[in-house]
Amino acid sequence: MLKGNSLIDSYVYKDEDMSASGFPNQNLIVGWVLRTVAIPNINPHQIMKTTQALTKQAITKKEEKKVVAPIEETKKVELEKVPESELKRPTVTGWVKEEGMKSVQELDEEKRQAFQERMKHVKEEKRLQADQTSISNLKTTRELPQIPKGEGAETSTFCPHCGKDLGWKFCPFCGKPLPH
């Protein structure tokens, strides 16, 4: 931006700010002008009209610079195929082993082996999960000792409320019925 012969400010627009014509978006230019020029009550519409006129003039000047050659003056150029005998290619003598190159069969075999390894690990994980769930349901053929059920044992004569050992129907200390 110039004021007379002196430069007020300049700004270089990024590629993403450019429009299809190759010039920056005019709204961005108007915003930059309003930020740069500190004139109160400046008319943004007038700035937009000026920007449009300058952009139109720049586009026409750019198109005038393009020099188009007349069709009559252009030559029709066709590429000629060079014969194989003229090509100078290095010749290979003897047997050459290509390292790192694998045939389709070898690639298929590698895929097959990788798949088998993967399936082996998946089956192992499933087996471990099945073993972990079946641990809670272990069955054995060995005879384990039985826990006594309390059959035939004497009935309790203690009071569940106060804890005294009594042989009565009611607790003489708290008066509540005993569970005989």
Domain count, the chain: 1
The CA R_g of the chain, rounded to the nearest whole Å, is 49
- Predicted pLDDT of residue 123: 92
- Predicted pLDDT of residue 67: 66
35 occurs within a structural domain: yes
58 occurs within a structural domain: yes
150 occurs within a structural domain: no
175 occurs within a structural domain: no
167 occurs within a structural domain: no
Q: Is 159 exposed, middle or buried (0-12, 13-18, 19+ CB in 10 A)?
A: buried
31 occurs within a structural domain: yes
Residue that the structure tokens 């690639």 belong to: 107
Instruction: Please say whether the beta carbons of 9 and 36 come within 8 A.
Output: yes
- Predicted pLDDT of residue 155: 59
46 occurs within a structural domain: yes
- Predicted pLDDT of residue 53: 92
Average pLDDT by stretches of 10, the chain with 180 residues: 82 80 83 85 89 88 73 70 77 68 82 90 88 65 74 60 66 70
What is the pTM assigned to this prediction? Answer: 0.35
- Predicted pLDDT of residue 49: 93
In the three-class reduction of DSSP (H, G, I as helix; E, B as strand; rest coil), residue 35 is classed as helix
Which two three-digit tokens encode residue 91? 């010749």
Domain of residue 17 covers 2-64
Cα–Cα dist 24/16, whole Å: 9
49 occurs within a structural domain: yes
